[in-house]
A and B are shown apart, each in its own frame.
Chain A
Amino acid sequence: MIDMAGIVVDGPVHRLLDGCTLSVASGEVHAVVGGASAGKSVLAAVLMGHRLPSRGVSEVAGYDPVRQARLVRRHATFVPQASRLDADLTPRQHLRWLLQLAGVAAAGDPVAIRRALRAAEIADHEFDRTLRHASPATAFQVWLAFADAAAHQAVILDDPTRYLSTTAARRTSGVVRRLAACGAAVLLLTSDAEFGERTADALTPLDEGRMHRTRSLLGAAADA
């Protein structure tokens, strides 16, 4: 579902991504772990078609991000690094709004919205509570609910736990895994190695734009 081969992105001063190759199948959570300036956000931008690679090919949900960026965005969810949503809207309002913008039919279906919010492990009493008064993880969970309601085949998360506490991050881990269980390919770009190890089926370190050897975590995930 998410494939890339030999992706190279040259920045104005130095190379940002250098020959990145990765494949995430349906139902798999793949974590790419790297520190600041490792190239995680650039990788996400390339996969969502926001940035053109200097070299290499990629495919997300069966579409080429270079030539079919709109189709990629129609079939994949991208959760940005700072997924701040409007603090004065409720999760229900947010989800309806995002679905409406994405042109998803579920936007007009209150039952589907409620089901997606529950699937994202947002408590019923938080559905209509503004994000200002909700837990910090709720914004991230709204995005995951969106991916669920839109039934996207690929989900790319850019450092989702950056502004979350350890407890909140742990809470969202199960939701991410549930998305994969529903058949989505989830690419987790994170600086939180612990979150990556806990959540993903496979982990690839990323350092200064270069990917290292992928490590399978299937046993560890099963243990968890």
Chain B
Amino acid sequence: MTAAWPIGVSHLRRLLRRRVVLASLAAMAIMASLSTWSGIRQRDVHEKRVADLRRQIADARTRQTAAFSGTATEPALREVRDLPPAAILVRGLDDRAPAYWDFGPDGVTPSIVDADEQDDGAGPIIDLELIVRVGIGLFACLLAAESVLLIRADGGLAGLAGLPLAPSEIWLGQLLGALAVSALAWLIVAGSAAVTVAVASPGDLSNAIGVLVRLTVPTSVFVLFAAASGAWLAAWSPASRSVISAALMTWLVISVVLPPTLVAVARLVRPAISAAATLGARASLDAVGQAAISRELGAAMRHTRPDQVGDDIDPAQVASGELDRLWTKLHADLTAETSALTQSLADNRSARDRLLGAMEFLSPASLFWEAAGDAAGSGRRAAAAWNAAIERRHRQLRALIFDDPPRIQVRSDRQIYSFERGRGRRPGDVPAFRIDPAPLAHVNWRDVAVLTLYAGFCLTLSAWRVARRFR
């Protein structure tokens, strides 16, 4: 195998002299710069919005009359989601994840996003993940297919066949050359992104470099898989033109069509309740609950004074605690009903996540998608970590505020009746809560290992075919 190295170096030099290769590298560098610059701008917009939200929360909490009633969603308890620092490079699910969550007795209400979109992240966003998955992947696939084809199509390599070299050495050398150019493509893309960050947002540079280093792991394996699949196709086909077309089509199916298709299938199998429907259901439950409370309390008072619905409330009924018991029962019913809805939504979503997790093994591009999101801390697993933290926060608030309905105070002045909860909790009673998104980024070794298996499988088949085909 010692000859593979000089063949690879020679092939690398030959490829780097080709205009189409140089133009592709330049195009990828430009796209990387533009996508990073766009990411920085989106992050700035998001941060402005987050700052506004935080200001509103601070205002709500410092107001003199501020107290949490615990009967409805409390904007003063709002938790704002910080943008993962690496979202400027890999958008992941970011612009489809909620920007904030509001807490109420019946559950957590996220800011308006479509829950169906949270899972797939499908959208025309160009980020480093897309550039690698489609751009560099296609580049590596076509380059490897063409390089292996040259074993018999190019005179130079036909000459090599007369040297005392095993066909697998020539194959490996050509593949190494193609891989080296593909690796160079990633270096150029990563370098362009880093330079853009250094120019447009110097404070993020060290963080961005950390993400790029983390991204290099899944990217390397994914590019290896892309090259291996191209080499495999080339080893099987007799004509160069058909191989290039086949490689192009195969790669588009693998990297562009398959990942959203798997998500669509998962959605078909496990249709999650959309966020809009959930919000609507909760609002309607709130309305129904409030109406029920009014009706029941009214009935209770009317029962006391059936002939006159007036402002006179039976003090005995208040004193006996009947209204309190009624309130507690209604509160418990409403909470149980809405908790069931929330639980069903969460169950459905986690079932879909499990299904997607299982199905992504069918698609190397989906695996890379996940791995890139994980490396940047803006993927589905990071979103799941956020959701889990928010659920924990809700349990905490439930124990503090929502699960302890205070006594009803009924008063009668000009209204027929009115009721309100007793002394609310002050903002100072609520412990601070904040999630740091940075630690959510990690290298997903499981996906990297599966991608490596895919690449190894294609490489083995290709090498076996070449060894059988050429003597």
Which residues does chain A contribute within 8 Å of B163, judged by CB atoms? Answer: 73, 98, 101-102
Q: How far is the CB of B159 from chain A (nearest CB, A)?
A: 5
CA separation between A71 and B166, bound complex, in Å?
A: 11
Interface size grouping (class) on chain A: 20 to 34
Let me know if B14 and A88 touch, CB within 8 A.
yes
CA separation between A98 and B3, bound complex, in Å?
A: 10
Among B7, B10, B155, B161, contact of A82 (Cβ-Cβ < 8 Å): B155
CA separation between A134 and B166, bound complex, in Å?
A: 31
Let me know if B165 and A101 touch, CB within 8 A.
yes
Let me know if B13 and A80 touch, CB within 8 A.
no
Which residues does chain B contribute within 8 Å of A102, judged by CB atoms? Answer: 163-164
For residue B471, CB closer than 8 A to chain A, the reply is: yes
CA separation between A73 and B159, bound complex, in Å?
A: 11
Closest to B9 in A: A97
With A79-B162, A80-B162, A88-B14 already in contact, the answer to whether A101 and B155 are too (CB < 8 A) is: no
Interface string of A79-90 (1 = CB under 8 A from B): 111111110110
Q: How far is the CB of B249 from chain A (nearest CB, A)?
A: 28
CA separation between A143 and B156, bound complex, in Å?
A: 11
Which residues does chain A contribute within 8 Å of B7, judged by CB atoms? Answer: 101
Closest to B6 in A: A100
CA separation between A211 and B166, bound complex, in Å?
A: 31
Let me know if A69 and B158 touch, CB within 8 A.
no
Which residues does chain A contribute within 8 Å of B165, judged by CB atoms? Answer: 73, 101
Q: How many A-B residue pairs have CB under 8 A?
A: 67
Interface string of B127-166 (1 = CB under 8 A from A): 0000000000000000000000000001110111111111
Closest to B2 in A: A103
Among B155, B166, B470, contact of A80 (Cβ-Cβ < 8 Å): B155
CA separation between A15 and B217, bound complex, in Å?
A: 53
CA separation between A140 and B84, bound complex, in Å?
A: 60
Residues of chain A touching chain B, judged by Cβ–Cβ distance below 8 Å, are 48-52, 69-71, 73-74, 76-86, 88-89, 97-98, 100-103, 143, 156
Residues of chain B touching chain A, judged by Cβ–Cβ distance below 8 Å, are 3, 6-7, 10, 13-14, 17, 154-156, 158-166, 470-471
A-B contact pairs, 26 of them (CB 8 A): A50-B470, A51-B471, A69-B471, A70-B166, A73-B162, A73-B164, A78-B159, A78-B162, A79-B162, A80-B158, A81-B158, A82-B155, A83-B159, A85-B156, A85-B159, A86-B10, A88-B13, A89-B10, A98-B159, A98-B163, A100-B6, A101-B3, A101-B160, A101-B165, A102-B164, A103-B164
